[in-house]
Amino acid sequence: MTPSRRSFLMAAAALSAAVATPEMVRAAAALDAAESADWAIATRDVEDDVARRAMRLVHGRAPAGLSGALYRNGPGKFRRPGGSATHWFDGDGLIRAFRVEDGQATLEARFADTPKRRWESEIDAVVTPGFGTKGDDRAKVGSNDDANAANTAVMVAGDQVWALWEAGSPLAMESSDLSSRGFVALRDDLKGMPFQPHPRYDPDGTVWNVGLAGDRAVIWRLNPDRSLNDARIVRLPRASYMHDFTATDRHLILVLQPWLFERHGAPVISGLAWRPEQGTQVMVLDKDDLTKSRIYELPGFFHFHLGDAWAEGDGAIRFDVAASADPRFAVDGARVLVEGHGVVPGDPARLALITLRPDGRAEMFTSAAVGEFPKSDPRRAGLARSLTVHTAGETRGRPLPTGLAVQDWTAGRSQGFDFGGHQIVEETVFVPKPGATAEKEAWLVGPSINLREGRTELHVYDAAHVDDGPVATWAADIALPAGFHGVWAG
Amino acid sequence: MKTLAPIAALAAAAVVSAPAFAADLTVAFPAAASQGRIMVALFDSEANYGGEGQPARHAVVDAAAGETRVVFEGLPDGDYAIRAFHDLNGDGRMNTNPFGMPIEPYAFSNNAVGVMGPATWERAKFAAAAAAAVQTIDLK
């Protein structure tokens, strides 16, 4: 539509024998703009695996002692000639490794080798039903792992990294070269049970996770070596869409929002109904006895992500959440992001602190901090803490982060840094400084997409001085689409 | 003339008593693990395949003993479809995980796949004809 309208305008100007008027030039430019927004690169397609390449230090100095790898996951391929994904959450998983050693940084990225990607590559069409993509009858889905996009998060498991997705098994990949090794079955009779993208860690290294099927959840407990300790089915009071969960050192916390599965269909969002009048239920389970649980009630709100929880001295449980009023972004915003132009529906989330009191009351305090992708100090997972790092700068219509901030819940203060509109900042994680124990004795490490330079960058900030901006920035020679979640392996 | 009539009668009798076509169908599972048993059900109509009736034939392939194929002999001409699963633990049932997903390998004729369910009759059906038919199935 658009190229022919533009050429019509230009042809009309020529026919009228007048020089193209400023109005006509502006109209043609506006039509060009409708083709793709400045942020469209955030959902671009990557065609092939990205071989390991050096990144160039373009700002500051690499901190001495920073050594390790940031593994991240996110959708890297959406569109094919025979059919395309129509939702941000349905692209093929592209696992990225940013490796930092002796002041040098490298970047490599490899697609998760899934049955979905193999079939869709063979017929060169995206046909598999997903979270927002309807799919069609060319799909081959004999089980949930046939639809597994392996695109949401990544966790470390010995010499492997596991690519995680909401509704299926982890996909094992070699850490050294990101080659895929196949889906993980933690026990033969649990093959295909869902393993969600946000596992939580105990101080002793035990891994907890959940997987959902309607109003039933599987609670996973893994040993520090990632072997299965236990898997238990728990009944939930409602069938909510739940992307994340949280935990203290002693309790698991499931936030059951009023976005409810009223039926199961393709795509997933077609079966979900928003019922805010039913409020949000927070279910707290005793890690030592999963039959013991308690339900708290809060007003209805929407969320994807929670922060690590902790218990206060009086037994109150606290955790933070990136909260929104409704699921508009999940339904429409994430669709527009893949379309690559226009105004993105949905208001940006804001950080809120939830307190669950021993007497059964629950409170939610919404801060002024706009942001998403909350992360905190891994040394304090499940334990008392003050700080949450989160993306920042999202605005209505353009909910793409332009910076990051550190929320201090104890001091009631936020410190942040904003790059400006030419950067799309991604999730940034705490990397404790070697040998240090104080919460602020850490770096913050995370990538961005530099829209002006058309490249992916990796930034390191000092957690105690995030408002100074990055202490080091490396630049890649390519721009990868935006990722979701990652983990630092030191 | 006198000898023709008995020969003609014999020929006529032969045509009437033989079946219209009779196919032998070989069903092979070349990649199956040498463990347990493969349960094979052969259906001769969409309704039966869909669960409204019984299989026309069924067989158990002793994978643990190294068997990998079964032959169904003398099938009347027509369309058929196969459902098969590999009973690895020998309990006679297709086992599932706690959320109801099959955890033992299974497959359908033509290696047809459904969308979060069994392959349809349309995708799984094949014709048993006079010439010997072979279905090579990859259990997943």
pLDDT digits (tens, 9 = 90+) for A59-117: 999 999 999 999 999 999 999 999 999 999 999 999 999 999 999 999 999 999 999 99
A18 is a domain residue: no
Residue A273 Cα, gap to closest chain B Cα (Å): 22
pLDDT digits (tens, 9 = 90+) for A446-480: 999 999 999 999 999 999 999 999 999 999 999 99
CB A467 within 8 A of CB A458: no
pLDDT digits (tens, 9 = 90+) for B75-89: 998 999 999 999 999
Q: Which residue of A has its CA nearest to B119?
A: A142
Strand ranges across the sheet with B23-28: B69-75, B23-28, B133-136
Sequence-distant (6+) residues with CB within 8 A of A341 are A33, A34, A35, A36, A37, A40
Q: What is the distance between the terminal CA atoms of chain A, rounded to a whole angstrom? A: 51
User: Please, which pLDDT band fits residue A26 given cuts at 50, 70 and 90?
Assistant: low
From the list A188, A192, A216, the residue facing B101 with the nearest CB is: A192
From the list B95, B98, B101, the residue facing A143 with the nearest CB is: B101
Provide the pLDDT for residue A2: 44
A137 and B115: CB-CB below 8 Å? yes
Average model confidence (pLDDT) for chain B? 87
A142 and B114: CB-CB below 8 Å? yes
| Euclidean distance between CA atoms A324 and A347, whole angstroms | 7
A193 and B99: CB-CB below 8 Å? yes
**Residue A119: which domain range?**
36-489
From the list B102, B103, B115, the residue facing A139 with the nearest CB is: B115
Residue B7 Cα, gap to closest chain A Cα (Å): 57
A129 and B113: CB-CB below 8 Å? no
Provide the pLDDT for residue B1: 47
B113 and A146: CB-CB below 8 Å? yes
Helix (H) or strand (E) holding A84: strand A83-84
Provide the pLDDT for residue A154: 98
Sequence-distant (6+) residues with CB within 8 A of A469 are A417, A419, A461
Q: Which residues of B touch A218 (CB under 8 A)?
A: 98-99
pLDDT digits (tens, 9 = 90+) for A203-256: 999 999 999 999 999 999 999 999 999 999 999 999 999 999 999 999 999 999
Provide the pLDDT for residue A30: 53
Cα A447 to Cα A103, A107, A207, A388: the distances in Å are: 16, 11, 26, 17
Q: Which residues of B touch A228 (CB under 8 A)?
A: none
Name the CATH code of domain B21-136 (choices 3.90.1200, 2.60.120, 2.60.40, 3.40.50): 2.60.40
Q: Which two structure tokens, joined as six digits, stand for A327?
A: 């699921």
Q: Which two structure tokens, joined as six digits, stand for A326?
A: 């409704």
DSSP A141: B
Q: Which residues of B touch A137 (CB under 8 A)?
A: 115
Provide the pLDDT for residue B21: 65
pLDDT digits (tens, 9 = 90+) for A281-300: 999 999 999 999 999 999 99
Provide the pLDDT for residue A3: 44
A441: phi then psi, degrees, rounded to nearest 5: -85, 75
User: Please, which pLDDT band fits residue A35 given cuts at 50, 70 and 90?
Assistant: confident
Q: Which two structure tokens, joined as six digits, stand for A315?
A: 């037994």
| Euclidean distance between CA atoms A81 and B74, whole angstroms | 46
The whole-model pTM stands at 0.90
Provide the pLDDT for residue A479: 98
CB contact, 8 Å: A396 with chain B? no
Q: Is the pLDDT of residue B74 over 60?
A: yes
A193 and B114: CB-CB below 8 Å? no
Q: Is the pLDDT of residue B120 over 60?
A: yes
Domain boundaries, chain B: 21-136
State the average pLDDT over residues A312-337: 97
Q: How many CB pairs under 8 A join A and B?
A: 51
What single letter denotes the amino acid at residue A358?
P
State the average pLDDT over residues A348-352: 97
Cα B123 to Cα A123, A134, A145, B1, B119: the distances in Å are: 17, 21, 21, 55, 6
Provide the pLDDT for residue B116: 79
Q: Please report, for the domain that includes residue A153, its CATH number.
A: 2.130.10.10
A13 is a domain residue: no
Sequence-distant (6+) residues with CB within 8 A of B135 are B25, B26, B27, B28, B82, B109, B110, B126
Q: Is the pLDDT of residue A144 over 70?
A: yes
A191 and B113: CB-CB below 8 Å? no
Q: Which residues of A touch B100 (CB under 8 A)?
A: 213
Q: Is the pLDDT of residue A416 over 90?
A: yes
Number of domains in chain A: 1
Provide the pLDDT for residue A51: 98
Q: Which residues of A touch B97 (CB under 8 A)?
A: 189-193
